Amino acid sequence: MKVEQQKDSKQKKIVQIEDLSVSFDGMEVVKHVNIEVNSGEIVGIVGESGSGKSITSLTLMGLLSKQAQVTSGKIIVDGEVLREADRPFDEKLYRRFQGSRMSMIFQEPMTSLNPTKKAGVQVDEIVRLHTDLEKEKRYEKVLETFQAVGLKDAKKVYDSYPHQLSGGMRQRVMIAMAVILHPDLIIADEPTTALDVTIQTQIVELLKDINKSEQNAMLFITHDLNLARRICHKIVVMKDGVVVEADETEKIFMHPKEAYTRNLIEAVPSRLKPRISVKKESNTKVLTVKDLSVYYEDRTNSIFKKKEKQYAVEHVSFDVYEGESLGLVGESGCGKTSLSKAILGMQEHMSGEVSCHVSRPQMIFQDPYSSLNPSKTIGWLLMEPLRAAGILDKKCAMSKADRKAAAYDMLARVGMDEKYFHRLPSELSGGQRQRISIAQALITNPGFIIADEPVSALDVTIQAQIMELLQKLQEEMNLSYLFISHDINVVYHMCDRIMVMKDGRVIEIGETEDIFHDPKEAYTKSLLV
């Protein structure tokens, strides 16, 4: 990538976090942290939820609430002390730095970008606030930056609202906003978590190119250790607000000193680790899909023009067998969601045949925080599917006492204590909520489950626990999974066969080992890079 400004290639200290401690209402959440980032360097901060990595980065950026107190240490950027213990927060000083000398790329651009303003206008505002450039020059600068970050039709992107752009394009807009003034420091907070594997790779390469050409300092926050290994020169491992280990990336991976670091590395799904299969040899089909197409009709105001069909899924055929896990991979827009909805009978316009040979197929969603009713207790959430099943089929009717007993039993099966029966979803951690989402899907004993990105939003150690739980339940209950994921390593670890979709079609399907070691299609090979 070509960039306008070239900086001195000699490394200098950009960020110095010295003995930093941060507390909320007297509770210390970051404890005596020391981190340095030099020019031309990418330093990763990794750790589980609650480790203090985001609090550290937000304190550095000056974005914490007023309740946060810096109780020890100081933060130095470009040789200037921005924050120091027992010194009031200097808002004017931070405003001078934010945007022009340091910037931040957030995890979810859809919530970070203003939905009521065009993408180009939002980037233009950054330039307008920090430079004296006239409107026409600012417009040219935004277009040049859009092109530099890989947005080919820059003028169209400029005039588009965030919802009119794909996830990858929105993240590129966020990156353009962060780099347009050539800051010395960029903080990237989980910048690829919500993206498909191919888009994730593109964004990672873009960030590496920017760092190399601009010679800026980059702090990369992530829970994905594989990703940190690909992009970071050094890694800082945090746990409970403390830095437990810090070193060059390969030294961390090859010779970790701390048990916690070793546990994080061992929890990462890897193609080098033996895949655990619980599949029993069976010719019994639980799902048959024949020549399935899903389409949407173009809306047009013309009464003379015939409505055209836009296909989301086109002539797809496959089977799922008893006790197996079939992985489904592909980019956003490839048809994964439309296919899963069609299987569950939630699509209006479709042709072909879907035959489910087991009763009541269920779905495990990506984000249980939004799929679980926040106003209902865990007990109610588990008992309600049983009550509904009894209404639909009198043979399945159960007394309230039996439903309650079944709910307690399912809690135990997913590794949850009885005390959670009366809790609300908001009172649980992300991993605990996902366990409840799994319990809710399984309580009616469905036989076939569609698992839609069930671990993508979770920390690496929690991911490992949930995958282990899904495999244990599969063996105990003889379940079959259609496992949707953008993480190719997770699919390798979980699935017996893999189906690859592109542009609404299945382009390749086969045994997991065959797909990984001898892929036939160029697109499949690109997913495995």
Number of domains, the chain:
2
The series of mean pLDDT values per 10 residues for the chain, 529 residues long, is: 42 94 90 97 91 91 83 95 90 89 86 92 95 95 94 93 85 92 93 76 90 94 88 96 97 95 82 58 89 78 63 94 94 84 86 90 85 93 91 76 95 93 88 92 94 83 88 93 88 94 95 94 88
Compute the distance between CA of residue 70 and CA of residue 68 in angstroms, rounded to an integer.
7
Which range of residues forms the domain containing residue 21?
Answer: 13-267
Same domain? For 241 and 347 the reply is no
- Last-in-domain residue among 209, 235, 267: 267
Give the separation between CA 288 and CA 278, rounded to whole angstroms.
21
Q: How far apart are CA 398 and CA 298, in angstroms?
A: 46
3-state helix, strand, coil in the chain (%, to 5): 40, 25, 35
Instruction: Provide the b/e sequence for 68-90 (b: ≥16 CB within 10 Å).
Output: bbbbbbbbbbbeeebbbeeeeee
Q: Are 344 and 450 in contact (CB under 8 A)?
A: yes
Of 239, 267, 295, at which residue does a domain stop? 267
Residues 6+ positions from 513 with CB-CB distance below 8 Å:
275
Provide the H-helix boundaries in 67-118. Answer: 91-97, 109-112
On whether both 231 and 338 belong to a single domain, the answer is no
pLDDT at 392: 62
Residue 459 belongs to domain with CATH number: 3.40.50.300
Q: State the pLDDT at residue 6.
A: 43
pLDDT score at 11: 78
Q: Does 301 lie in the same domain as 245?
A: no
pTM over 0.75: no
DSSP-based three-state secondary structure for 296: strand
- Angle between helical axes of 378-392 and 430-442 (0-180°, round to 10): 20
Q: Which amino acid is at 82?
A: L
Q: Which position has the token pair 């259609």?
A: 482
What integer pLDDT is reported at residue 4 of this predicted model? 35
Q: Are residues 350 and 249 in the same domain?
A: no
Q: What is the DSSP letter of 431?
A: H
pLDDT at position 298, please? 62
The terminus-to-terminus CA distance of the chain in angstroms comes to 21
Specify the pLDDT at position 3. Answer: 29
The β-bridge partners of 69 are: 23
Same domain? For 180 and 315 the reply is no
H or E stretch including 70?
Answer: strand 68-77
pLDDT at 282: 73
296 and 341 assigned to the same domain:
yes
